[in-house]
Structure 1
């Protein structure tokens, strides 16, 4: 599946609407309220809600005009909360998600308007969104503490919001509907890590770049080269291209093989399955010119599930949902 981005964010109707006519000043208190769901049935009601979105967008624009750049973490996050709220509203989401996401956007806007410090960095799982892809959340947490965070803040903020968006879709319509937003989040995490590595920070705080991470995904109970999801190889090739493009030195590659839980947690065969997958990826990397002496592998069986998929049915949907667990994590360890 291909996801198209605009600048950083995504092609959504809100970003193409003429927003600022008649907005001469930003409000200083939270007031962005959508009409109750049962009233969203007339043109007048929808028009009123659109006006609420436009006013909120105007407040973001006013903050930007006042000197806070859109690449700022909190302004970016306010924009991305607004984007996902409007996206779901436009798709006729009748849950509390559009209002909750709009509320998170405005919570940040009010803090910025009032000059609050420090501003919050938490990312609530609004509307009881499912917590998905712990591996991506962990990578985002690492970025918050990295020297290059200032250059990656926009991607980090939107990656966090998209993971919540995905979790909300998972609750409503299971994996098939959350998958596109997971993909958006994963691309944002990859972009954020690249931006952080390339950030022009003061020499005193320059640290060794973190590893480049890719995940090679396998079909259920399979471990051969032909059993790899082809699109997952793109993450490996992007990492190799980044190493060359950023003139990084490859010190080594660590491969960690994994399996899903379908055969039962602790199933002995999952250990050997995850090992065979790691070996397959090792041969794949050697075929791409990586020195065999630099590649080491380990395997974890089903002990580290990054996607739980509780309650997903039928079996075909469950297998697809568990796909991120059937992986070999590829960690390219680099130096400048």
Structure 2
């Protein structure tokens, strides 16, 4: 009699049983109709070579349907496809252990249900049933499954989560047939997979966006009292171009940029407000011309937000000393909201 073989795959840390190629006996062929809803031979009939080969054909046909879904670009670590594979694996595992109960057929049925939904472009659902009247073991792990499915990085942990759920149902089935001693290895597999899934989700979740501000001296950017593109100094152009290049190198993604113009307190508030707005708009346009593609908003604050560095500057007349003292207030602030690499 041909023997069923199984093996373990260490890829991704998930146990996978490889179904051996089946050489069907003459007259025992897995027809397409039976492949859609495979029914294993009853336990008493699994003593004949013909019956065992027919069951192997059912497993092989189901595995081929999973492969066809993968060929349709459903990735192997997709939650639903991974769960179908793990149901099939545990079904075949118990079949090779000569399980005389209902788990091999129940697990195979669940795999086929998910496969059929995916083939019809339907959603199989996110719940994992306790097939074959399995006990619901380890409520804490089921709570972790629910948390993982809500995690930002679940897409990276989907395969491990799906297989952990199936293994816990597998363990709940073993309680009936063999007691805790038989269930314990599968609980351990579920625990290991949960730990792996949690780490994968944590590693996959994108870091939180942060806000970073860059202050450019207006005196280095523009000619005295200038605000237009023609008023930008060569030094100012280099500063903006270098900043644009720097942002592209250090940021993974940029949500938005706020360009804010500021002036000192010399002159009228109306003039200073208009000057700050014009300078902010000019810097925005220059950044875009330099290749910066993230959304930019430009605004002016005029003289309303002086820096702490100028708190000691005395006087109201525009003396050379006061102009120099107020220099830190004349600036363009660029606030970047994004995620660093």
| TM-score bracket, shorter-length normalisation | 0.5 to 0.7
Residue in structure 2 matched with residue 7 of structure 1 by the alignment = 11
Deviation string for 1:248-303 (max 9, x for gaps)? xxxxxxxxxxxxxxxxxxxxxxxxxxxxxxxxxxxxxxxxxxxxxxxxxxxxxxxx
Query: Helix, strand or coil for the counterpart of 2:66?
Result: helix
Residue in structure 1 matched with residue 112 of structure 2 by the alignment = 106
Residue in structure 1 matched with residue 334 of structure 2 by the alignment = none
Query: What's the CA shift for 1:12?
Result: 2.8
Residue in structure 2 matched with residue 150 of structure 1 by the alignment = 155
In structure 2, the gaps of 5 or more residues are 1-7, 210-341
Query: What's the CA shift for 1:26?
Result: 8.0
Query: Helix, strand or coil for the counterpart of 2:11?
Result: coil
Measured in 2, the distance between the counterparts of 1:20 and 1:119 equals 32
In structure 1, the gaps of 5 or more residues are 205-336
Give 1:53-92 correspondences, 5 Å limit: 53-92=59-98
Residues 192/26 of structure 1: CA separation in 2 closer, same or farther (3 Å cut): farther
Measured in 2, the distance between the counterparts of 1:169 and 1:31 equals 25
Residues 55/95 of structure 1: CA separation in 2 closer, same or farther (3 Å cut): same
1:128 equivalent to 2:145? Answer no
Measured in 2, the distance between the counterparts of 1:57 and 1:152 equals 23
Deviation string for 1:141-162 (max 9, x for gaps)? 1001111000000000000000
Query: What's the CA shift for 1:202?
Result: 8.0
Query: What's the CA shift for 1:187?
Result: 0.3
Residues 157/86 of structure 1: CA separation in 2 closer, same or farther (3 Å cut): same
1:140 equivalent to 2:145? Answer yes
Conservation of the 8 A alpha-carbon contact between 2:35 and 2:58: no
Residue in structure 2 matched with residue 181 of structure 1 by the alignment = 186
Residue in structure 1 matched with residue 267 of structure 2 by the alignment = none
Residues 78/27 of structure 1: CA separation in 2 closer, same or farther (3 Å cut): farther
Query: What's the CA shift for 1:18?
Result: 3.9
Query: What's the CA shift for 1:122?
Result: 1.2
Conservation of the 8 A alpha-carbon contact between 1:76 and 1:157: yes
Query: What's the CA shift for 1:119?
Result: 2.5
Query: What's the CA shift for 1:6?
Result: 2.3
Measured in 1, the distance between the counterparts of 2:198 and 2:107 equals 25
1:95 equivalent to 2:101? Answer yes
Residues 156/11 of structure 1: CA separation in 2 closer, same or farther (3 Å cut): closer
Residue in structure 1 matched with residue 176 of structure 2 by the alignment = 171
Query: What's the CA shift for 1:194?
Result: 0.4
What RMSD, in angstroms, separates the aligned Cα atoms of the two structures? 2.7
Residue in structure 1 matched with residue 195 of structure 2 by the alignment = 190
Conservation of the 8 A alpha-carbon contact between 2:152 and 2:205: no
Measured in 1, the distance between the counterparts of 2:173 and 2:112 equals 19
Conservation of the 8 A alpha-carbon contact between 1:20 and 1:54: no
Conservation of the 8 A alpha-carbon contact between 2:103 and 2:173: yes
Which structure's relative contact order is higher, taking Cα pairs within 8 Å and 6+ residues apart?
Answer: 1
Number of matched residues?
Answer: 197
TM-score after normalising by structure 1: 0.55
